[in-house]
Amino acid sequence: MTEFMKEKHFKPLPRFIVCVSTTNLEYDKLSDALDKTKLLIVTFKNSYPNSKLALTTLSPMNICGLKASAEALNEDIKEYNRELTSLTMNMGGDLIPIDYDKRDMISRDGHHLSDSDTFKLSSSMDEYLKNSL
């Protein structure tokens, strides 16, 4: 995504939402994922100085990737979301917190959102745009 922003693949708009993926956290250290997010924010600001970037919080997952367990990955996701809150505030971005339903949040593959949480995600983004424009 950072490369697309560097190359200005996207039409400049007042608001731009990025749903950051949990994939990096499955395989990277938490600090590496946060560094990549910081780079994404800086690159976005340089490429689109008149646009506002909003990031969504990450959802828990039911797989572990290279982590010891799904619980270990979900602890990293919780910490990432906490760090993302301060990161967006300090770097001038917005955060769209999503209240994912832990009971029926993940589809059977353990990775993707269920239909109900996909609806929650899209509704939260719609609400953000409605209140920001």
d(CA 23, CA 85) in angstroms, rounded, equals 19
Helix (H) / strand (E) element for 55: namely strand 52-56
Q: Which of 30, 96, 22 is nearest to 60 (CA)?
A: 22
- What is residue 85's predicted lDDT score, i.e. its pLDDT? 94
- With respect to residue 4, please indicate whether it lies within any of the assigned structural domains: no
- With respect to residue 82, please indicate whether it lies within any of the assigned structural domains: yes
CATH of the domain at 119: 3.40.50.1110
- What is residue 64's predicted lDDT score, i.e. its pLDDT? 61
- With respect to residue 1, please indicate whether it lies within any of the assigned structural domains: no
- What is residue 115's predicted lDDT score, i.e. its pLDDT? 82
Helix (H) / strand (E) element for 119: namely helix 115-132
What is the torsion angle, in degrees rounded to the nearest 10, for the CA atoms of residue 99, residue 131, residue 12 and residue 1?
Answer: -10
d(CA 96, CA 70) in angstroms, rounded, equals 24
- With respect to residue 2, please indicate whether it lies within any of the assigned structural domains: no
Owning domain of residue 102: 17-128
- What is residue 38's predicted lDDT score, i.e. its pLDDT? 94
- With respect to residue 101, please indicate whether it lies within any of the assigned structural domains: yes
The reported pTM is 0.81
Is residue 12 helix, strand or coil? coil
Query: Count of domains in the chain?
Result: 1
- With respect to residue 6, please indicate whether it lies within any of the assigned structural domains: no
Tens of pLDDT, residue by residue, the chain (133 residues): 567 676 677 778 889 999 877 667 778 889 999 999 999 999 999 999 999 999 999 888 776 666 668 788 888 889 999 999 999 999 999 999 987 766 565 666 666 777 888 888 899 999 999 998 7
